[in-house]
């Protein structure tokens, strides 16, 4: 009998699917290729009533129900699926260690591509480096991105209202305090992570899988492994260009229709940058990212 469930944990080709009655099945996809993501709604068939691990049933994923969104990164050779059916992308950066400006910009572009609500969380705001981090984020605040300052070790309540009614996914570099943030929002998360790691990977890689948590009936959050690279090979030049919000008033005003905004004469984007309407660092980021 065909069943329908939601993928709540993903590691390699092994998944946990939650059925409507809250039963959890350990699943693998049918066939060698796997394109299943945490957050996916899937059609599956039960293969056994119980598994040897934690006495859970097992199943085979037959198909993926059409997604409302798919967050992923890619290079010239492959893509890495991050999360499906999310409505909000939360990018966690911190005062210490310093965060990668280009990685932040790339994450925002991926979110723009999927029309997600975007939030930047600046964590560890109790540390002395707060002013330097604020200065680094000032261009993002200026063009309208929401930046929320907090310290996950002290108080996460400023973030909680922004999670309501959303299916959020948290991404960020390693060391930004994302795990601390998740554990503060969901106190039982640590125990759940240990349990899932045991089931899916014998506890060898406790931080290398995505996990979905239910905050309430209409609010969910997916925690993902830390990322150091975020390829956008799947986005063409025009998509990247349109995803820089501050560029929009000036697009179409360059002398050349195929302007790269790097060296051509009468470039409207570079002119706006010279006039202080576009941040110089943001233009440099665009030039780096547009070259993939």
Per-residue pLDDT of the chain (292 residues; tens, 9 = 90+): 789 999 999 887 889 999 999 899 999 998 777 789 999 999 999 987 654 444 567 899 999 999 999 998 887 677 888 999 999 999 999 998 889 999 999 999 999 999 999 999 999 999 999 999 999 999 999 999 999 999 999 999 999 999 999 999 999 888 888 888 999 999 877 645 545 555 554 333 344 578 999 999 999 999 988 777 788 888 999 999 999 999 999 999 999 999 999 999 999 999 999 999 999 999 999 999 997 5
What DSSP letter does each residue of 138-191 carry, written as one string? Answer: HHHHHTT-EEEE-BTTTB-TTTHHHHTT-EEEEEE-TTSSHHHHHHHH-TTHHH
Q: Where are the domains of the chain?
A: 2-64, 70-223, 237-290
CATH architecture observed for domain 2-64: Beta Barrel (2.40)
Q: Which CATH code, of 1.25.50.10, 3.90.280.10, 3.40.50.300, 3.30.565.10, is assigned to 70-223? A: 3.40.50.300
- Which CATH superfamily groups domain 237-290? Probable gtpase engc; domain 3 (1.10.40.50)
Does this model's pTM top 0.75? My answer is yes
What is the DSSP code (8-state) at residue 62?
E
Sign (positive/negative) of CA torsion 161, 166, 167, 168? negative
């Amino acid at each position: 009998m065909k069943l329908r469930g939601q993928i709540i944990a993903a590691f390699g080709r092994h998944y946990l699917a939650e059925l409507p009655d809250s039963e959890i099945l350990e699943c693998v996809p049918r066939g060698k290729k796997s394109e299943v993501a945490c957050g996916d709604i899937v059609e599956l068939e039960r293969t056994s009533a119980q598994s040897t691990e934690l006495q859970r049933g097992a199943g085979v994923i037959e198909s993926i129900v059409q997604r409302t969104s798919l967050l992923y990164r890619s290079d010239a050779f492959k893509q890495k699926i991050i999360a499906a059916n999310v409505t909000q992308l939360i990018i966690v950066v911190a005062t210490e260690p310093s965060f990668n400006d280009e990685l932040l910009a790339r994450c925002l572009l991926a979110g723009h591509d999927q029309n997600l609500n975007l939030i930047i969380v600046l964590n560890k705001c109790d540390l002395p480096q707060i002013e330097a981090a604020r200065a680094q984020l000032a261009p993002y605040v200026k063009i309208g991105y929401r930046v929320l300052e907090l310290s996950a070790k002290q108080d996460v309540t400023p973030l909680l209202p922004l999670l309501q009614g959303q299916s959020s996914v948290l991404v960020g570099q390693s060391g930004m305090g994302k795990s601390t943030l998740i554990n503060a929002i969901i106190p039982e998360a640590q125990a759940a992570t240990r349990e899932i790691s045991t089931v899916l990977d014998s506890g060898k890689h406790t931080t290398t899988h995505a996990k979905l948590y239910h905050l309430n009936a209409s609010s969910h959050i997916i925690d993902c492994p830390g990322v150091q690279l975020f390829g956008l090979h799947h986005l063409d030049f025009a998509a990247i260009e349109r995803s820089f919000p501050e560029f929009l008033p000036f697009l179409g005003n360059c002398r050349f229709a195929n302007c790269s905004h790097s060296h051509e004469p009468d470039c409207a984007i570079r002119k706006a940058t010279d006039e202080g309407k576009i941040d110089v660092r943001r233009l440099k980021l665009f030039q780096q990212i547009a070259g993939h």
